[in-house]
Structure 1
């Protein structure tokens, strides 16, 4: 199971990012657990200054704007 954190204040882009990650995980048959992190200090702790951010198994893989589905698939299968 992959541990996914979506970093952001809970805006529409953050929600969409979480939905995109879940959709790709479902398509790939990958088990994931998504946690939404909205605390600014916690987000800054990852070094992310532009949201939404995506952290997979403790590693920041994306920050700022909506990710591409192809990129999400690569991150989930890495």
Structure 2
């Protein structure tokens, strides 16, 4: 599983990355987490508001910081 955090590295992006790590640990899942900061790359996903969360090349959230439990629910549904 590859998870991408899309954003400039702002506090919200960092919080989303931390919540993602927590969700992965809670679910006992292993995934590669990549931070994408290039604006062109972010726009290629159709995201106009960061932070964005992409799981296996599918955009699952943009414009808000999901909690660890919300991310955990998304991970279970994929």
- TM-score category by the smaller chain? over 0.9
1:1-78 equivalences under 5 Å are 2-77=1-76, 78=78
TM-score, normalized by length of structure 2?
0.93
Structure 1 stretches lacking a partner, 5+ long:
none
Q: Which residues of structure 2 form unaligned runs of 5+?
A: none
Per-residue CA distance 1:13-70 (angstroms, 9 max, x = gap): 1011000000010011010110000000000000000000000000000001211333
Q: Normalising by structure 1, what TM-score?
A: 0.93
Comparing 64-73 with 6-15, which one deviates more in the overlay? 64-73
* In 1: Cα distance, 2:20 partner to 2:42 partner: 18
CA RMSD of aligned residues (A): 0.8
Q: Where do 4+ consecutive residues of structure 1 move more than 6 Å? A: none
